[in-house]
Structure 1
Amino acid sequence: MLEPRQVTNTEQARQIVEERGLTHVKVGVFDQDGVLLGKYLRKDKFFSALEGGFAFCSVVLGWDSKDQLYDNVKYTGWHNGYPDAEVRILPHTCRELPMEDNMLLFLCEFTGQAEAICPRGTLRRVLEMADSMGLNAKAALEYEFFMFKETPESVRQKGFRNLEPLTPDWFGYSVLRNSVHAELYHQIMDLGETMDFPLEGIHTETGPGVLEAAIAVDDAENAADKGALFKTFMKVLAQRNNLMATFMAKWSGDYPGQSGHIHISLYDDAGANVFYDPSQTHNMSQLQRHFIAGQQKLMPEFLAMLAPTVNSYSRLIPGFWAPTEATWGVENRTTALRVIPGSNKSQRVEYRLGSADANPYLALAAALAAGLYGIKYKLEPEAEIKGNAYEQEHPEYLNLPRTLWESAQRLKQSEAAREMFGNEFVEHFAATREWEEREFRKHITDWEMDRYFEII
């Protein structure tokens, strides 16, 4: 009998459904916020969709993460009546759903007009550019996330205040904590193995109830699937244990923010790591220097794809393990880009800017496209940063936007973004980020009430 991760084509997708005697399967597509949206399909409908696709209401590309309708996007809206968008099923993404008895999940992509703004499709187009340059990208994603002894009901009853973390105090890399909660850790590791987002490592980070998980390296497209599925089903697993996991960039001003670091390496068709050159300092090839230069130059322009929420910018402040300028260094965790010297197998760059709340497809697309741009135009990076990057002065053009609105404007104005992602994507995604900022401005924060209510 076929195993889910052995499925590669439509014929095998049919075969595994028949072998298991399934009446329904689950299908899903990731929206611009990285949220998995889907449904159950009956077997005959699924078989038909394998050949010709199926329709998904385009509203999922026309509303925000709270189902509020955008008023500023061209693709879909009241102006065209929210027509259907076509999606294709991707047989090779077939996975077991261990929390559901005898159920399979298949991921999908938008096609037709919606393909230009589809997050997964956007990454795929960047990977096609890499392929045209004779390059194959590998990537690994890391996520920090907080776990709470809360439920969706309790956090709302508490107004998201006075939440109880899974564990108290600051205790990074704690064997005490992961031994006390060993059953949960084993559930997480087992889920990663079963659903094919295996974890190279998982440990407590510094802060109450915070964990960090490093997903195993894979080809870039698979790596993004794994990151997106990890975030989704970590929340599922937590809630099934009467816990909650959050990937907010920063949930409290008292603790460091939550990152979504991206490790990238490039290989040629012969399987050689093109970043690796043992004749050069730090084993950095000229191609890796160009790649880093592109990432550095375009980081301020692509920031909205890596820091996509208002909350993302609460993390990007000095002294909290998050970069504030587009800097690079060798084995330097205070810089935005960390070159990791190694072998033909391990030479890579870590894009440390990304936050945990980013859409994995778009974050990886941005990090990779910027590097390819640097290779294409043979850019050279600024001088390597040694020591604490937070305490050093940097050229003004390396400063990152400080707000989501500013990031959206930089993306819209970026000729490089339009070249690498297409006009349709840039216009649509920038508009969704402008909406996000405008929605935030409608609300009064606790900080404003405390600061101004009595005194001003």
Structure 2
Amino acid sequence: MTPEELVKRVREGDPACAKIGLFDIDGVMRGKYLSAGKLASAIESGAAFCDVVLGWDSGDQLVEGLSFTGWHTAYPDAEIRLLPETMREMPFEGGMPLILAEFAGRAEAVCPRNLLKRVLARAADAGFTVKAAAEFEFFVFEETPQSVRDKGYRDLKPITPGNFGYSMLRSGVHADFYHELWTTCDAMRIEIEGLHTETGPGVLEAAIGVDEALEAADKAALFKTVAKILAQRRGWMATFMAKWSRDWPGQSGHLHMSLLDAKSGEGVFFDKAKPLAMSDAMRWFVGGQQALMPELLAMIAPTVNSYTRMIPGYWAPTAASWGYENRTCALRVIGGSEKSQRVEVRIGAADLNPYIALAAAIGSGLWGIENRIEPDAPIEGNAYAVEMPPERALPATLWDAAQRLKGSEAARTLFGAEFVDHYAATREWEEREARKAITDWQLARYFEII
């Protein structure tokens, strides 16, 4: 649909408006309705959002210590660029168009979508295109935004009880939700390849179809918003936080990726003459990811809650490890053919920002190819039982991860100093806010006895 056709489509709508949306540092979708006339002007001449969108946290609290924005800049407008090619019709709003946007001008340096675009331009300069896909686990509850607050986020009721992974029973009973999620996502070009229950009460896993990396990130970011909308419209809630209960495994956000030759379109990761059929390019790509994972972890594990998931035996890696078809490792090489061989980054949880996490995963792999970084020998068997060298240890907290990111010369080269400083400051803020909380554990531990 051309911009002119899009505006005509909006003028003929009832109501005659469209939604525009973009994703902030935390991967939260922010947006608004625009009239047909305002949309036409925005497409032609650009538009703006208050730059506070890049200067507040997921709770709309102003982040202190940023140079890009703050009280010292008086929160001016930041340019945005509308992307008509991303238009999707929203079935839950009568087919109203949704158009994605990204920050432009000075704000490009700290914009998550533009960060990924810069990394993909680096890949293009090296003669590669990148394919990617995301998988998300998420818990669904018979709760509303009001009821969870009234309960203090305790004693929540999942839509189903107990463990029942890959359950035909559970998916059959709640088939209407599965079907609505599937058809809605399909209508919005967020094609789902697989959808099933996971182990735990009310937990689902969705595998989103592979696409070029930027489109894959758009789909992944949109999926989380759409799943939440559909759940809340029926009086339920879906959560993508990394770990909501100490009694159940965390929720993963796995990312798959491969490189193609930009000219021939053929995969460059497969070489049947090499061990594990891994080409030199794939081996170096994995080597770069492994080497930089401790420095870039904050970009893939972005919340305080992310680090509660990384414990042995809960399907979350605890070191920068890799293996062939090994789900206990942070990096899983998936074998196959020239078309299917890929690497899966398993360190992330469902709370990741797809643009930033993919930028970290792809950027570190490209750095590995550029510098011919050799990975360790692949781990066979249980990675949790293997003693890893100190340089493979991962930061244990978001604060430590932010410090590693700030001090990473590779990160500054790959992503730009302005992004690294801005993003690290937002992660430090998140940790400082968390330290203000008095937890149930602290009350039970100290209230009477100390």
Give the alignment's TM-score, normalised by structure 1. 0.97
Change (3 A) 1:46 1:73: same
- Separation of aligned partners in 2, 1:16 and 1:44: 12
- Separation of aligned partners in 1, 2:95 and 2:13: 7
Counterpart selection for 2:242 from 249, 261, 276? 249
Counterpart selection for 2:59 from 66, 81, 91? 66
Determine the structure 1 residue equivalent to 2:439.
445
The alignment status of 1:362 with 2:356, answered yes or no, reads yes
- Separation of aligned partners in 1, 2:217 and 2:418: 22
Q: Aligned to 1:108, what secondary structure does the other structure show?
A: strand
What letter corresponds to residue 355 of structure 2 in structure 1? Y
Change (3 A) 1:282 1:440: same
Determine the structure 2 residue equivalent to 1:4.
none
What letter corresponds to residue 243 of structure 1 in structure 2? W
What letter corresponds to residue 106 of structure 1 in structure 2? I
Residues 262 and 350 in structure 1, CA contact (< 8 A), matched pair in contact too: yes
Determine the structure 2 residue equivalent to 1:199.
192
Determine the structure 1 residue equivalent to 2:414.
420
The alignment status of 1:138 with 2:131, answered yes or no, reads yes
Determine the structure 1 residue equivalent to 2:281.
287
Q: Aligned to 2:72, what secondary structure does the other structure show?
A: coil
Q: Aligned to 1:261, what secondary structure does the other structure show?
A: strand
Q: Aligned to 1:189, what secondary structure does the other structure show?
A: helix
Q: CA offset at residue 404 of structure 1? A: 0.3
1:282-335 Cα deviation digits (max 9, x unpaired): 211010000000000011111001110000000011111000100000000000
The alignment status of 1:326 with 2:306, answered yes or no, reads no
Determine the structure 2 residue equivalent to 1:168.
161
Counterpart selection for 1:147 from 140, 146, 149? 140
Q: Aligned to 1:99, what secondary structure does the other structure show?
A: helix
Q: Aligned to 2:41, what secondary structure does the other structure show?
A: helix
1:60-79 Cα deviation digits (max 9, x unpaired): 11111111111111111110
1:192-231 Cα deviation digits (max 9, x unpaired): 1011111100000000000000000000000000000000
Determine the structure 1 residue equivalent to 2:149.
156
Aligned length: 449
The alignment status of 1:398 with 2:396, answered yes or no, reads no
Q: Aligned to 2:201, what secondary structure does the other structure show?
A: coil
- Separation of aligned partners in 2, 1:20 and 1:313: 46
Q: CA offset at residue 17 of structure 1? A: 3.1
1:238-277 Cα deviation digits (max 9, x unpaired): 0001100000100000000001000001000201100011
- Separation of aligned partners in 1, 2:289 and 2:225: 28
Counterpart selection for 1:81 from 70, 74, 77? 74
- Separation of aligned partners in 2, 1:340 and 1:334: 13
Determine the structure 2 residue equivalent to 1:96.
89
Q: CA offset at residue 106 of structure 1? A: 0.2
1:34-62 Cα deviation digits (max 9, x unpaired): 00101001111110110111111111111
1:347-406 Cα deviation digits (max 9, x unpaired): 000000111001111111111001000011111001110010001101011010000000
Determine the structure 2 residue equivalent to 1:336.
330
- Separation of aligned partners in 1, 2:432 and 2:54: 18
Determine the structure 2 residue equivalent to 1:239.
232
- Separation of aligned partners in 2, 1:369 and 1:13: 34
The alignment status of 1:114 with 2:100, answered yes or no, reads no
Q: Percent identity?
A: 61
Determine the structure 2 residue equivalent to 1:215.
208
What letter corresponds to residue 356 of structure 1 in structure 2? A
Determine the structure 1 residue equivalent to 2:48.
55
Query: Pairwise CA RMSD of aligned residues?
Result: 1.0
- Separation of aligned partners in 2, 1:426 and 1:32: 12
What letter corresponds to residue 429 of structure 1 in structure 2? Y
Determine the structure 2 residue equivalent to 1:25.
18
Q: Aligned to 2:285, what secondary structure does the other structure show?
A: helix
What letter corresponds to residue 409 of structure 2 in structure 1? E
Determine the structure 1 residue equivalent to 2:365.
371
Moved more, 95-104 or 141-150: 95-104
Q: CA offset at residue 175 of structure 1? A: 0.4
- Separation of aligned partners in 2, 1:151 and 1:19: 34
Determine the structure 2 residue equivalent to 1:180.
173
5+ residue gaps, structure 1: 1-6
Give the alignment's TM-score, normalised by structure 2. 0.98
Q: Aligned to 1:203, what secondary structure does the other structure show?
A: strand
Q: CA offset at residue 12 of structure 1? A: 4.1
- Separation of aligned partners in 2, 1:192 and 1:276: 32
- Separation of aligned partners in 1, 2:169 and 2:36: 47
What letter corresponds to residue 80 of structure 1 in structure 2? T
Runs of 4+ in 1 over 4 A off after TM superposition: 18-22
Q: CA offset at residue 13 of structure 1? A: 2.9
1:132-183 Cα deviation digits (max 9, x unpaired): 0000000010000000000001000000000000100000000011011111
The alignment status of 1:189 with 2:186, answered yes or no, reads no
